C-alpha cells in the first residue's frame, strides 16, 4: 500500500510540474498551491524566512476555528478585552478595556480589518494568555510541517525572530480553508459593521471585491515585512492559494497574487476520477463471506494540466480471485489513469470490508456439502 501511494505521489508530481518560466510577480517570495491535493504549481524562494506581518493571523484564525469546531468555543461566546489586548496598536477596532464582544464579531474584525486588538483578545480567551496561545501556534506549525516558521505573537506586529515562509503560509492557509470552510463567512466580506452599526469595517483584501471566485484570505504589511498576502480563490470546484511575501507596494502584492491565480486557473483542473464501470466483486478462497467488494482508495482527486485531463483513459488491474483473510482497506489492485499513452496516476483499489478465513470445522462442512451433495433427510 505504501509503495503504491509513493508511486502515486511521484506520478502526481510528474503530472503537475512546478513551472520554470517566471510570472509577473514582483516580490521576494511567492508560491501557488492547490487546496485539495496540496500540489505546488509555481514557486520562487518559497522557503526563504521572511516576516509575514498580519498574514500571521491565519494561524490565529486556524486555532480559533479548531476550538469552535471541537466544541470548546462558540461563535456566541463573549470575549472581554484586556488592557493588554487594547494596547496593541496598528490595525485595530479600538477596543476599550473590559469591552465585551462575541467571538463572531471579533473573528469578523480580524478577517476583515486585521484587528490586532481582537486577535490578542481571542488568543487570551482561547489559551488563557497571549504567551500560551503563541506556544500553541508554534506547536501547530510543527504539526503541519511548517519548518521555516517561528511565531512570537498572534498578530504579526514586528518582533525579533518572528518569521515564516511562503511555503509555510500556504500550508497553514490550506489547513484553514480545507478543514474549516466556515471561515469564508468572514473572509469574503467586503464591507460590514460592528457595535450595532456604529463602526464600519472594510476588507484589507481588495481581491474580495474585484477578483472572481475570491474566498479570502489575509493581508499584511509593515516596513520590514513589505506587503504580504495569502489569497485564496475558487473556480470550477478548484481552490488555489497564492502567497506573496515582501512585495514593494500594495498594488504589486495584489497584481502578483492575481497573476499566480490566473496562471493556475488557466492551465490546471481538478479531476475526481471514478471507475467507468462498477468494480466486480471478487471471489475469496476459504473466506467468510466468499467474496469481497473492491472500492477505490484514496488519491482519486487528481490535479492535472487541462491538456492532459482532456484525454484520460482507465485500466482496472485486479486479480481473478483472492485468499482469505483480507483486511478492510487492504490493497487489492490499481486503477491506472493514462493520457496520451502515459500513466498519470495509479490509484489503489482496496477491500471495502474485511473477509475472515473459515475455521477448520466450517471448511469440513463445506467440503462434505460439496462432495456428497448433502440434502435434508425426509425419512
| Active site (catalytic) residues | 54, 57, 114
Residue that is written with C-alpha cell 489559551 in the block: 127
> In the structure grid, which three cell numbers stand for residue 133, read together?
496561545
Residues whose CB falls within 8 Å of the CB of residue 294, separated by 6 or more in sequence, listed in order: 279, 280, 281, 282, 318, 332, 333, 349, 350, 351, 352
Cα–chain center distance at 297:
19
CA distance 40 to 23: 15
**Helix H or strand E segment including 116:** helix 116-127
Distances (CA, A) of 11 to 263, 271, 310, 332: 22, 15, 17, 20
200 in Cβ contact with 109 (< 8 Å): no
Give, for 177, the enclosing helix (H) or strand (E). Answer: helix 166-179
**Rounded to whole angstroms, how far apart are CA atoms 175 and 308?**
28
> Containing H/E element for 15?
helix 2-15
Which DSSP category does 197 fall into?
A: T
Extract the C-alpha cell encoding 346: 495509479
Q: How many CB atoms within 10 Å of residue 23?
A: 15
* CB 346 within 8 Å of CB 322: no
Between CA 219 and CA 202 the distance in angstroms is 13
Cα–Cα dist 24/128, whole Å: 44
Q: Choose among 186, 156, 201, 217: nearest CA to 75.
A: 186
Amino acid at each position: 500500500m505504501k509503495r503504491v501511494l509513493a508511486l502515486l505521489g511521484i506520478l502526481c508530481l510528474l503530472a503537475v510540474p512546478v513551472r520554470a518560466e517566471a510570472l509577473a510577480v514582483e516580490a521576494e517570495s511567492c508560491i501557488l498551491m492547490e487546496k485539495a491535493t496540496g500540489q505546488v504549481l509555481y514557486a520562487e524562494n518559497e522557503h526563504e524566512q521572511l516576516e509575514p506581518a498580519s498574514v500571521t493571523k491565519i494561524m490565529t484564525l486556524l486555532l480559533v476555528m479548531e476550538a469552535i469546531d471541537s466544541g470548546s468555543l462558540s461563535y456566541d461566546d463573549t470575549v472581554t478585552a484586556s488592557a493588554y489586548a487594547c494596547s496593541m496598536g496598528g490595525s485595530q477596532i479600538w477596543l476599550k478595556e473590559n469591552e465585551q464582544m462575541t467571538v463572531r464579531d471579533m473573528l469578523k474584525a480580524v478577517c476583515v480589518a486585521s484587528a490586532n486588538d481582537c486577535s490578542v483578545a481571542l488568543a487570551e480567551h482561547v489559551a488563557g494568555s497571549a504567551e500560551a496561545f503563541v506556544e500553541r501556534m508554534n506547536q501547530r506549525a510543527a504539526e503541519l510541517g511548517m519548518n521555516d516558521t517561528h511565531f512570537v505573537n498572534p498578530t504579526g506586529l514586528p518582533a525579533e525572530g518572528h518569521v515564516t515562509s511562503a511555503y509555510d503560509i500556504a500550508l497553514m492557509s490550506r489547513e484553514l480553508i480545507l478543514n474549516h470552510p466556515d471561515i469564508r463567512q468572514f473572509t469574503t466580506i467586503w464591507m460590514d459593521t460592528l457595535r450595532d452599526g456604529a463602526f464600519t469595517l472594510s476588507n484589507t483584501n481588495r481581491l474580495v471585491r474585484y477578483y472572481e471566485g475570491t474566498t479570502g484570505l489575509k493581508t499584511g504589511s509593515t516596513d520590514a515585512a513589505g506587503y504580504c498576502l495569502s489569497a485564496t480563490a475558487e473556480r470550477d470546484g478548484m481552490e488555489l492559494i497564492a502567497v506573496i511575501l515582501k512585495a514593494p507596494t500594495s498594488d504589486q502584492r495584489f497584481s502578483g497574487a492575481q497573476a499566480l491565480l490566473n496562471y493556475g486557473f488557466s492551465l490546471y483542473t481538478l479531476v475526481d476520477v471514478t471507475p467507468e464501470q462498477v468494480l466486480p466483486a471478487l471471489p475469496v478462497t476459504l473466506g467468510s463471506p466468499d467474496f469481497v467488494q473492491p472500492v477505490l482508495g484514496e488519491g482519486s482527486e487528481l490535479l492535472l494540466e487541462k491538456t492532459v485531463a482532456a484525454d484520460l483513459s482507465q485500466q482496472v488491474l485486479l486479480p481473478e480471485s483472492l485468499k482469505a483473510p483480507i483486511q478492510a482497506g487492504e490493497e487489492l489492485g490499481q486503477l491506472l489513469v493514462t493520457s496520451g499513452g502515459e500513466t498519470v496516476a495509479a490509484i489503489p483499489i482496496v477491500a471495502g470490508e474485511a473477509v475472515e478465513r473459515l475455521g477448520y470445522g466450517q471448511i469440513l462442512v463445506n467440503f462434505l456439502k460439496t462432495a456428497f451433495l448433502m440434502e435434508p433427510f425426509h425419512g
